[in-house]
Amino acid sequence: MKMYFPNHIRPLSFILIISVERVSSQQQNRTYTKTPDYPYNDKTGFYLLTILSLIFQQLSLLGCLYVFYGTYRRWRDSSGSLPMALKIPFYFAVTDFLLYTMNFPNILFLLMFRHAWPDPVCPIIGFMTSFYAALNMILHLMISIMTYVRLCHNENFSSGVYDWKLLLIVISTSMLFALVPTYSYGVDIWWCSISRERDSKVAYLAIIVTFGVVLINAFCYISVKRQIHGIEHSLHRKCVKKFVTYVSIFVLQWFFSFPNHITRLIADRSVWTFVLYVVSMNFGGILNGFQYHMSEGWPVKNQDDQQPIMRVAPPSSLTSVISHSTT
C-alpha cells in the first residue's frame, strides 16, 4: 500500500517550525527563563501554546477513538483473536490515549488558571505523563525490534497468550524509567513534567533515552524497508509497508521533542520548543488513526486476508509464511 502522509507532513512540519520561530523572534529574542515574570507575562506564547495544544489533543483523541472502534468492530466479527497487524495500531492507540488523559487536564488547568497544577497533584501528573510516554516509546521499540529480527534474521519471538510477554516487558521497563526521576517531578515552566530546577541531571537521561529509542527505530525502519524490495508476494509487501509506516510515525512523533530536551539542558526555555513538544506528543494519535484508516478502511475485511505483520517471511523464504502464530 502506498504511504501518503509523509509527503504531506514534511511541508506542514516546516511551516509549523517557521511560524512558531517567527513568533518567538518577535519576543525580542530574549532568554525566557531570565525574564522576571516569565511565562505569565507572555500572552502571545501562552495562548499559542494552550490553544494549539488543545486542538492537537482533540485530534489525537479522535484518532485513538477511531482505532478503538475499528478494532472493536473487527474483534466482534472475528472467530478468534485478532492478527498482530490489527493489534499493533490498537496498542499504539492505547498509549496515545493514556498520554491524552494526562496532557489534556495539564493544559486545560493552565488555560483556566494561568499556572500549573499545585503540589501534590503536579508531581503525580508529571510521573504519569513520563510513564505513559515511556510506554509509547518502549512499545514502539519492542515491536520494531521483534519485526526486524523476524523479517531480517528469520527468528521467531512468541509474545505469549494475549501478548503477555510483550506487555510485561513494556510495562516493567517503562515503570523503571519513570521511577528514576521520582523526586524530579514538578512544574516545568508551563506545565507539570520533569522539573529542571529539582534535578537537571534527569534532562540528560531523557534526551539520551529518547535519542536512543528513536535511533534504534530508525535503524529498524531502514533495514525493514530494504527488505521490501526482495518481497514479491503482494500481501507480504502490504504487511511490511504497514510496519514501516507505523515506525515512521513514531520517528516523526518524537523527533520534534528534541528541541525541548536540548533547551532544558541550556536553560533557555523558548515557547516554540514547548509548542513543538506538544505537537510531537499528539502526532502519534493523529497519524496512527489516519494510517489505520488508510490501511484497513471502514468496511470490516475478511480476516483470512489479514496476515499479521509478525508472520511475514524474510526474502530467503518467500514461498511460505512463518508458521508460528502470535496470539
89 grid coordinates? 495500531
The predicted pLDDT at position 262 comes to: 82
- What is d(CA 306, CA 82) in angstroms, rounded to the nearest whole number? 9
Rounded to whole angstroms, how far apart are CA atoms 126 and 192?
Answer: 5
**Residue recorded with cell 496532557:** 103
Q: Rounded CA gap, 248 and 217, in Å? A: 8
Say how far apart CA 58 and CA 60 lie, in whole Å: 5
CA 108-64-20 angle, 5° bins: 50
Q: Exposure string (b/e) for 94-123, b if CB count within 10 Å is 16 or more?
A: bbbbbbbebbbebbebbeeeeebbeeeebb
CB within 8 Å of 48: residues ≥ 6 apart? 20, 23, 271, 275
The answer to whether the CB of 288 falls within 8 A of the CB of 249 is: yes
| HSE-CB for 225 with a 13 A CA cutoff | 13
| E strand spans, 130-261 | 185-188, 191-194
- Cα separation, 216 vs 146, whole angstroms: 12
Q: Could you give the CA distance from residue 172 to residue 177 in angstroms, rounded to a whole number? A: 9
| pLDDT the model gives residue 18 | 52
- Ramachandran region, residue 63 (left: φ > 0; alpha: ψ -120 to 50; beta: rest): alpha
Q: What angle, rounded to 10 degrees, do the helices at 258-266 and 271-296 form?
A: 160
Q: Residues near 109 by Cβ (< 8 Å), separated by ≥ 6?
A: 116, 117
Task: Using DSSP, state whether 314 is helix, strand or coil.
Answer: coil
For the question of whether the overall pTM of this predicted structure is more than 0.75, the answer is yes
What is the reported pLDDT for 36? 45
What is the rounded distance in angstroms from the CA atom of residue 5 to the CA atom of residue 290?
8
Domains of the chain: 39-316 (1.20.1070.10)
Supply the pLDDT for residue 90. Answer: 94
What is the distance between the alpha carbons of residues 92 and 246, in angstroms, rounded to a whole number? 9
Looking at residue 89, its pLDDT comes to 92
At residue 27, the pLDDT reads: 43
| Bond from prior residue into 39 cis (ω within 30 degrees of 0) | yes
Which pLDDT belongs to residue 106?
95
From first to last of its 327 residues, the chain has per-residue pLDDT tens of: 444 445 545 555 554 555 445 444 444 344 444 444 556 677 888 999 999 999 999 999 999 999 999 999 998 887 777 787 788 899 999 999 999 999 999 999 999 998 899 989 999 999 999 999 999 999 999 988 888 888 888 777 666 666 788 889 999 999 999 998 777 888 888 889 887 665 567 777 888 888 899 899 889 888 888 877 666 555 566 777 777 788 888 888 888 888 888 887 777 778 888 888 888 889 899 999 999 998 888 877 765 555 444 444 444 433 333 333 333
The pLDDT assigned to 17 comes to 53
